[in-house]
């Protein structure tokens, strides 16, 4: 760990970097996870490192979808586990959702490490472990296509933070509602998902928790009303508009 002064203007961002670098050295993350994190950082900088109004709207809609779901699943990769394991476990418990590990760069060693991170955060029931049963997701090849029969395979709504476009697309094609959290509104994942939250997982998952607590008492009809009002393409365009305003502001100043 580096010694980072809390007075540094980029303190929080540097802390996250340090957490990621350490997790890489511990074998939890693939080396390319750090590159993915850097891409996320760049987009986060541009949106002002705060949750934007379109992201808030997507978070509310995602919560309604998760509350309406019969079999919600939270899919976890290395980056999500390192940055937000505690929040994932709390959200799963509030929603009675299953947690399933799915890694892009899957190795048995990394699956064990991610499982350990989730268990240390309080998870008691983790799917997608080494040796667990799995069925393939149609249209996907390799380890990415693993879907636990009691998890992603039977899920009607799946939260897939920092996902790759192919998996998001294949899950949507298999009839599931796919919610993603991705700081890049231009990514294929963002475009292919049913509900795209353009925000950092470290802010979005705590907000999903708050929203779940708020909406838990709502009727199914009210939750459905929230879903019906939402248009994902329109919401992504609003995020892109905010980004272009950011560059415009810089030009004007």
Which one of 105, 112, 119, 156 is in contact with ligand PTJ (CB under 6 A)? 105
CB nearer ligand PTJ, residue 105 or residue 230: 105
User: Cα separation of 38 and 32, whole Å?
Assistant: 10
Q: What is the DSSP string of 234-253?
A: HHHHHHHHHHHHHHHHHHH-
Which one of 19, 39, 129, 154 is in contact with ligand PTJ (CB under 6 A)? 39
Q: Do the Cβ atoms of 38 and 20 come closer than 8 Å? A: no
For 127, phi and psi rounded to 5 degrees? -100, 170
Minimum separation from the CB atom of position 158 to ligand PTJ (A) = 15
CB nearer ligand PTJ, residue 97 or residue 162: 162
CB nearer ligand PTJ, residue 201 or residue 226: 201
Strand 135-136 with 146-147, pairing: antiparallel
Residues whose CB falls within 8 Å of the CB of residue 88, separated by 6 or more in sequence, listed in order: 74, 76, 80, 81, 99, 118, 121, 123, 205
Which one of 54, 72, 78, 151 is in contact with ligand PTJ (CB under 6 A)? 78
Q: Is 103 in the site for ligand PTJ (CB under 6 A)?
A: yes
Instruction: Let me know how many helices (H) and strands (E) the chain has, helices first.
Output: 10, 8
Q: What is the DSSP string of 161-206?
A: TT--HHHHHHHHHTT-EEEEE-S-TTSHHHHHSSEEE-S-HHHHHH
Q: Select from 132-140, 149-157, 179-187, 234-242 the region that touches ligand PTJ (CB under 6 A).
A: 179-187
User: Cα separation of 164 and 231, whole Å?
Assistant: 21
Q: How many residues bind ligand PTJ (CB under 6 A)?
A: 24
Minimum separation from the CB atom of position 108 to ligand PTJ (A) = 13
User: Cα separation of 236 and 219, whole Å?
Assistant: 27
Query: In the window 180-219, what residues touch ligand PTJ (CB under 6 A)?
Result: 181-184, 187, 200-201
Minimum separation from the CB atom of position 252 to ligand PTJ (A) = 27
Which one of 20, 23, 24, 33 is in contact with ligand PTJ (CB under 6 A)? 33
CB nearer ligand PTJ, residue 30 or residue 66: 30
Q: What residues line the site for ligand PTJ (CB under 6 A)? A: 30, 32-33, 36-37, 39-40, 43, 77-79, 83, 103-105, 162, 164, 181-184, 187, 200-201
């Amino acid at each position: 760990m580096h010694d980072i002064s809390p007075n540094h203007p980029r303190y929080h961002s540097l802390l996250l970097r340090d957490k990621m670098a350490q997790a890489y050295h511990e074998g939890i993350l693939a080396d390319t996870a750090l590159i993915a994190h850097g891409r996320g950082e760049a987009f986060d900088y541009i949106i002002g490192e705060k949750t934007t109004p379109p992201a808030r709207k997507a978070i509310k809609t995602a919560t309604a979808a998760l509350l309406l779901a019969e079999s919600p699943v939270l899919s976890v990769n290395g980056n999500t586990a390192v940055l937000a394991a505690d929040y994932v476990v709390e959200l799963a418990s509030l929603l009675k959702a299953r947690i399933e590990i799915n890694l892009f760069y899957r190795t048995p060693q990394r699956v064990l490490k991610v499982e350990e991170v989730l268990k240390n955060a309080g998870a008691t029931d983790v799917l997608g472990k080494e040796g667990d049963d799995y069925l393939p997701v149609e249209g996907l090849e390799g380890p990415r296509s693993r879907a636990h029969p009691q998890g992603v395979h039977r899920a009607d709504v799946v939260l897939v933070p920092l996902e790759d476009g192919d998996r998001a697309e294949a899950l949507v094609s298999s009839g599931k509602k796919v919610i993603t959290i991705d700081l890049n509104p231009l990514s294929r994942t963002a475009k292919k998902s049913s509900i795209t939250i353009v925000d950092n997982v470290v802010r979005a998952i705590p907000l999903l928790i708050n929203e779940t607590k708020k909406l838990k008492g709502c009727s199914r009809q009210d939750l459905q009303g929230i879903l019906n009002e939402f248009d994902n393409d329109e919401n992504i365009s609003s995020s892109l508009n905010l980004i272009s305003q950011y560059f415009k502001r810089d030009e004007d100043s």
